[in-house]
Structure 1
Amino acid sequence: MDRNMDLIVIGAGPAGLSAACAARSCGLDVTLVDEQAAPGGQLFRNIETPMAQALLDPKERAAGLELVRRFRESGATYYPGATVWGLEPHRVSCTMNGKAEELTASHIIIAPGGMERPV
């Protein structure tokens, strides 16, 4: 990828989604990469599906859905299913769709998550 962004966020859990939304609201060019196929992280895993929504208490479900909605509407570039395997100042190396990619940005936020939600 040839484009240099303002910010790369690694991780689409609540912290990464919030960071991406905040940065976009400031007018920054933001790209978010995450290993999972859908946003939400461990806390709100697959929150957009009825099955996942049924597992959450109503307040958590509402909060998760609102966060994902704001992220989807933010205009941030989103690469789900991306495996990050290299990190250097201003550079993220990852695999997307079976192809190695290098993303560059002025800033990088790493939001790997911090909680497992057992079923």
Structure 2
Amino acid sequence: MNTTDNLNLAENYYNAMLAKDFDKMASYLDDNVHFIGPLAKMQGKEPIITAAKHFGSILQDIKIGSRFASHDQIMFAYDMVVPAPIGKFRAAVLMEFKGRLISKIELFYDASPFQEKKNEIFEDDSK
């Protein structure tokens, strides 16, 4: 698999998130995917998709500005848009791939505007 394939898979993952197609989004993830972000760390598909569903309820747009790939890793710099008062915020992601699946997602962004929404995004849906 080449680096262009990984870039395309990562972009498709974010397009599925934006379209709120969480089954498709899950299809890009390794079963043991590891997520590291400013607000939470998670292991496995289910908690990541649950968090994506919660975040997806406020997500309005994703605009990828820069893309880089090397071997089994990609990095995006992008803008995400959510309702005011947060609005547009800059973020970056480093993803690792095993085969054609995302095995690690590490997000970088200023989490301070999201502190009050943290429990809504990362709560357990099985309660």
TM-score range, shorter chain: 0.3 to 0.5
What TM-score do the two structures reach when normalised by structure 1?
0.35
Higher relative CO (Cα under 8 Å, sequence separation at least 6) belongs to 1
What TM-score do the two structures reach when normalised by structure 2?
0.33
Greater strand fraction, Structure 1 or Structure 2: 2
Greater helix fraction, Structure 1 or Structure 2: 2
